[in-house]
Structure formats: C-alpha cells, structure tokens
Chain A
C-alpha cells in the first residue's frame, strides 16, 4: 500500500522515472516516511498503553531488594518497557541509589532504555524484518546486562558524586502517587479493566503518540532525507571498499564515530538502511546506530552531574567495547 502510494506520487504526480536518481531518492523518501509514520503511530500507542503500567516509581519498587541476577535481567526488560526522557536521567539515578539498588543494576537500566524501545523496534522491523529486530533487542539487552555487571563488579560506588548519597540518605517522607496500594490482586485486575482506568490509559497512550511524533518528526524526516540522498547518490563501490564486510576496521570506526553523535533510532535507522543497501555490512551499520543511541555527548554532560569522570570513562569504554563486539557478531551472522 505504501509502495503503491510512493509509485503513484513519483511516477504520476511528479512525472519522474523510478530508475532515475532523483526518482529513486524521491520514492525512497515517500515510501519510508509514510510507512514508518503509520507503524510508529500504531506501535507507540500500543506500547504506551502497556507502559502506563510501568512508571519509574514502580520499577524502582520492583527492583528493590531483589537478588542480583534476577534484578539485572528485570532491569534490562523494564528498561525496554519504561523508557524515560533523557532529562529524567538524574532524578531517576538518584531515586535508584536511594532505593539501595546496586550501581550495576542502575546502569543496566540506563543502558537498556535508550537502545531498545518501541521506536527502534518499529524501525528495525519495518526495514529489516522481525528476525533482525529480535536479534537487535536481544543483543541490546545482553549488552545492558553485561555492561551493568562489569560496572557493578568494579565497585565504583565512590565515583558517584557524594551529594547523591547525601540526598538519598536524607530520608524524607516518601510521597507516593496514589495508586490504591491496599487492593487485592483481583480488585487490581478489575480496576485495570474498569472504564475510567481504560479511558485514562488510552488517553495517556494517544497523547504519547502525539508527543512522540511531534518530538521526532524532524529527526525522522532528516534521517530519511539523508538516507534518500545516500540511496540516490552515494558511490557504492567506495562504500563497499571502506565499510563493507571485508574491512575489519569498519565496525570499530563506525562505532567510535557514532559515540559522540546523538540521534535516536528514528533519525539513524533510515541512514543505516540506505548504507546497508549500498553494501555496508549489517553489523557495521547497526553498531553505528547503537553507538548513536546509547552514548552521546549531551548524555555524558548530564551524567557528569551525578557521577565522576572516571565512572563516565568506564561506562563509555564498556558500552563501546560491547557495541563493537555486537557489530562483529552481526556481520558474522546476518
């Protein structure tokens, strides 16, 4: 359906040849934009609905006092379900410390959340199919768990700014957002399916669609725009030579290039897709995307408010290494 729409617009409305460069780029742009916007709206709605059951305050409660292994897997899964706006990183981090959640587990959550979420899922699925999407999700979660475990093992608690602990220890009265805590399980289930609850969650989900699309459309269009340019104009033989699977250094270079850059899945994936069509290795392209979404300069500046440079260094080092390994892995199996 989106393909037909793009064909019709390019051929009949703009009178362009599909095999021409401009026509090809236009077709890519229209096809991707309409398809992705549609999928995103559907998916964000569904995930936001689910997410309304997982506010960060709850996540914290669930993680409190769990055994390490269980907590770390849970943190990775909850990171996927409970994405947070990057400006909430600091309060979230302090909240976790306050709840006595180990540092490693906190990092697992912080890593998993930006790499794996509904947006990256939609984009990966629509571009590469469910297999790649599933492998990406598993790889992202594994990265979060392993990197968190390493950070936990290194005992870096003293590299967290001391005021974080002071705040956490201050022990003020807890203010809970009321959620009817004393209900029994059955009552809770009934409440979930009551009309008001459903209505509230649906509104929440619908509003999230609007908010997210409003926030990301610029990224989406510029990403698809750059992708379209690559699609129509980038020299294939050059890219294959330097970034194809034959070049062993392609993965680390792509990863390191991606680290300081900030983009979300929406902006980076159309570029990734176009690069892959031009013969860049799948692992190389996906490592580039992971590095862009997981690590960025603005995020490090935010983190600097709560943790000391050494821990930031370890965090970046461990995650970068992980992404490079995943890149090689993808190149080997895809």
Chain B
C-alpha cells in the first residue's frame, strides 16, 4: 500500500502525517507513507484544501485532519 499525505507544511498536515504513521505502525500494515509538500504534485490530485490523504493513488479525504480512529477504519 502507498499512502500519501498532501500538505504544504501547516500544523494540521504534520498532525495528519503523525496520525497516519501511528495507525500504520499499530495495524502493522505494509505501507509506504509519503509526505508530499511540492505544490505541483499536490495539485495533480485536484485538491483545494489540505491536508489531503491519498491511498494507492486515490484521493480519499481533503481538508480534514482525520483522527486515529477514522484512519484505522480507512486503512484496514
């Protein structure tokens, strides 16, 4: 699994990355977690609000700081 966190570096984006890594570790997923800060890359996914979450190339959430519980549901 490939997980991308899209965000230009604000606090919410960092927290989403932290939550995601926590869940990946918790669920012992074989996933690669990437933080994408380059705006050109971010815009490829047509998001207008960050932080956004991309799983295996699909945009699953935008403009939301997902909680650990929500991430668990999405990732498992």
A172/B49 in contact, CB under 8 A? no
Among A86, A163, A177, the residue within 8 A (CB) of B10 is: A86
CB-CB contacts of B30-71 with A at 8 A, as 1s and 0s?
A: 000000000110111111111000000011011101010000
What B residues does A86 contact at CB under 8 A? 10
A85/B49 in contact, CB under 8 A? yes
A87/B13 in contact, CB under 8 A? yes
Among B12, B45, B62, the residue within 8 A (CB) of A87 is: B12
B62/A177 in contact, CB under 8 A? yes
B43/A57 in contact, CB under 8 A? no
Task: State the CA gap A215–B45 with chains docked (Å).
Answer: 27
Task: State the CA gap A57–B65 with chains docked (Å).
Answer: 17
A56/B49 in contact, CB under 8 A? yes
Among A56, A57, A84, A305, the residue within 8 A (CB) of B39 is: A305
Task: State the CA gap A135–B40 with chains docked (Å).
Answer: 40
A300 within 8 Å of B by Cβ? no
* Size category of the binding interface on chain A: 20 to 34
What A residues does B13 contact at CB under 8 A? 87
What A residues does B42 contact at CB under 8 A? 91
Task: State the CA gap A175–B46 with chains docked (Å).
Answer: 6
CB-CB contacts of A156-174 with B at 8 A, as 1s and 0s?
A: 0000000100010010101
What A residues does B11 contact at CB under 8 A? 215
Among B43, B46, B49, the residue within 8 A (CB) of A55 is: B49
What B residues does A167 contact at CB under 8 A? 40, 43
What A residues does B40 contact at CB under 8 A? 163, 167
- Smallest CB separation, B17 vs chain A (Å): 14
B46/A85 in contact, CB under 8 A? no
A196 within 8 Å of B by Cβ? no
Given known pairs A56-B63, A167-B43, A177-B62, the reply for A87 and B48 (CB within 8 Å) is no
Complex interface residues of chain A between 165 and 215 (CB less than 8 A to chain B): 167, 170, 172, 174-175, 177, 207, 211, 215
Among B43, B59, B61, B65, the residue within 8 A (CB) of A211 is: B65
- Smallest CB separation, A222 vs chain B (Å): 18
- Smallest CB separation, A177 vs chain B (Å): 6
A90 within 8 Å of B by Cβ? yes
What B residues does A85 contact at CB under 8 A? 10, 12, 49-50, 63
Most chain B CB neighbours (cut-off 10 Å) among A55, A87, A167, A207: A87
Task: State the CA gap A92–B62 with chains docked (Å).
Answer: 12
What B residues does A215 contact at CB under 8 A? 11
Most chain A CB neighbours (cut-off 10 Å) among B11, B39, B58: B39
Given known pairs A163-B40, A175-B45, the reply for A87 and B9 (CB within 8 Å) is yes
B49/A91 in contact, CB under 8 A? yes
Given known pairs A56-B49, A175-B59, the reply for A90 and B39 (CB within 8 Å) is yes
Complex interface residues of chain B between 11 and 32 (CB less than 8 A to chain A): 11-13
What A residues does B9 contact at CB under 8 A? 87
Task: State the CA gap A333–B12 with chains docked (Å).
Answer: 41
Q: Chain B: which residue is nearest A173 at the CB level? A: B46
Report 6 cross-chain contacts, Cβ distance below 8 Å, ordered by A residue. A56-B63, A85-B50, A87-B10, A87-B12, A95-B46, A174-B46
What 5 A-B pairs have minimum CB-CB distances, sorted nearest first? A87-B10, A95-B48, A56-B48, A88-B49, A175-B59
Query: With A87-B9, A174-B46 given, can you name 11 additional A-B contacts, CB distance below 8 Å?
Result: A55-B49, A56-B63, A84-B63, A85-B12, A88-B63, A90-B39, A91-B42, A91-B48, A167-B43, A170-B44, A207-B67
